C-alpha cells in the first residue's frame, strides 16, 4: 500500500484550514444537512475529531471521506464543504495531534534529559495514534501544532554549541529513530494479532521443526546469539528494549558531536 503523506493536498486550502483559528474562519461552524433528523451544526473540528477516532481504532486504511460522513450522520458531499479531501484531512489530524501533545518542562535540566523527553513524547504520540507513525512527513503539515512542536523540540538542543543546521539534523535523526521504532512495535502487535498467538507461542510452535533442520555447527554465531536473545526477550525482537538501547546510542552519538565542537 502506498505511504500516506502530509502536504499532499491543495496548499492554499490546507493552510487556510490549519490556521483557521488565527484567520477567524467563519465557516468553521456552518450548518449541514443530515441524512436523517433535524439540521445540526457541524464544524471542521468535529470532522477531524471523528476522522481521528476512526484512524485510532482501525488505521488509515479505514479512513475515507464517505466513512467519516457516515459516522457523522451527513451525506458525503456535505463533508467536502468543510474539508476538500482526505489529503487535507490528514494534515489537520496530524497537526491537531501535535498541538495536543503533552510537553515536558525540561528548562535547566541536562541536555540528555531534554532530548530523552522529546523522544519519549513522540513515542507516546505514536502509542496514542499508531497511524501517525505510518505517515511520511517529508513535507510536514505547516500548521500551528507542527510549529509549536518544532519550537519545543529544538529547545532541547539549544545552548549546546551546535549550529542551526546541526540542531535540525540532530532532531531529525532522533525523530526518525523514534518513528522507526514505533513502526516496528506496531508490526509486532499486528503479527501477534494476525497469528493469534504471542511471540513465545509462535517460537514454541516453530521450534520442533527448526531443531530438526538447523545445524548449529553450520551457523554457530546465529545459533548461539539467537538462542540467547530468545531466552532473554522471549522473542526475536523486543520493541521496548530496542527503543531503550537505541535511544542510548543516539544520545551517545550526540554527546560525541557536542564534545567535538567544544
Tens digit of each residue's pLDDT (9 = 90 or more) over 146-198? 999 999 999 999 999 999 999 999 999 999 999 999 999 998 888 888 778 88
Identify the CATH number of the domain defined by range 11-99.
1.10.10.60
User: What is the average pLDDT value for the chain, to the nearest integer?
Assistant: 90
CATH class of the domain whose range is 111-260: mainly alpha
Angstrom distance (rounded) from CA 77 to CA 155: 43
Every domain range in the chain assigned CATH 1.10.357.10: 111-260
Structure confidence at residue 190 (pLDDT): 85
pTM, entire model: 0.87
CA end-to-end span of the chain, whole Å? 46
The residue among 204, 212, 214, 193 whose CA lies nearest residue 235 is 204
pLDDT digit string, tens, across residues 205-239: 878 888 888 889 999 999 899 889 888 887 778 89
Q: In which band, very low, low, confident or very high, does the pLDDT at 2 lie, cut at 50, 70 and 90?
A: low
> In angstroms, what CA-CA distances link 217 with 109, 200, 206, 221, 222?
51, 25, 20, 9, 10
Residue 30 has pLDDT above 60, yes or no: no
C-alpha cell recorded at residue 225:
546469539
> In angstroms, what CA-CA distances link 113 with 119, 120, 164, 229?
10, 10, 20, 29
- DSSP bridge pairs for 136: 5
Amino acid at each position: 500500500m502506498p505511504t500516506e503523506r502530509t502536504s499532499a493536498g491543495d496548499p492554499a486550502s490546507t493552510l487556510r484550514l490549519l490556521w483557521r483559528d488565527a484567520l477567524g474562519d467563519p465557516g468553521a461552524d456552518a450548518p449541514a444537512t443530515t441524512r436523517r433528523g433535524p439540521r445540526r451544526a457541524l464544524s471542521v473540528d468535529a470532522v477531524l475529531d471523528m476522522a481521528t477516532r476512526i484512524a485510532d481504532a482501525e488505521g488509515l486504511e479505514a479512513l475515507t471521506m464517505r466513512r467519516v460522513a457516515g459516522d457523522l450522520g451527513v451525506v458525503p458531499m456535505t463533508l467536502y464543504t468543510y474539508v476538500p479531501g482526505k489529503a487535507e484531512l490528514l494534515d489537520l489530524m496530524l497537526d491537531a495531534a501535535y498541538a495536543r501533545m503533552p510537553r515536558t518542562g525540561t528548562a535547566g535540566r541536562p541536555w540528555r534529559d531534554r532530548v530523552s523527553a522529546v523522544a519519549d513524547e513522540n513515542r507516546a504520540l505514536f502509542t496514542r495514534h499508531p497511524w501517525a507513525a505510518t505517515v511520511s512527513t517529508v513535507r510536514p503539515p505547516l500548521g500551528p501544532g507542527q510549529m509549536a512542536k518544532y519550537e519545543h523540540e529544538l529547545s532541547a538542543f539549544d545552548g549546546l554549541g551546535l549550529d542551526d543546521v546541526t540542531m535540525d539534523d540532530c532532531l531529525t535523526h532522533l525523530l526518525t529513530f523514534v518513528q522507526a521504532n514505533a513502526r516496528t512495535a506496531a508490526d509486532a502487535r499486528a503479527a501477534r494479532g494476525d497469528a493469534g498467538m504471542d511471540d513465545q507461542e509462535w517460537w514454541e510452535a516453530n521450534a520442533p521443526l527448526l531443531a530438526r533442520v538447523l545445524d548449529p555447527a553450520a551457523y554457530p554465531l546465529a545459533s548461539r546469539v539467537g538462542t540467547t536473545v530468545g531466552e532473554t526477550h522471549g522473542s526475536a525482537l523486543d520493541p521496548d528494549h530496542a527503543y531503550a538501547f537505541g535511544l542510548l546510542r543516539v544520545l551517545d552519538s550526540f554527546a560525541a558531536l557536542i564534545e567535538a565542537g567544544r
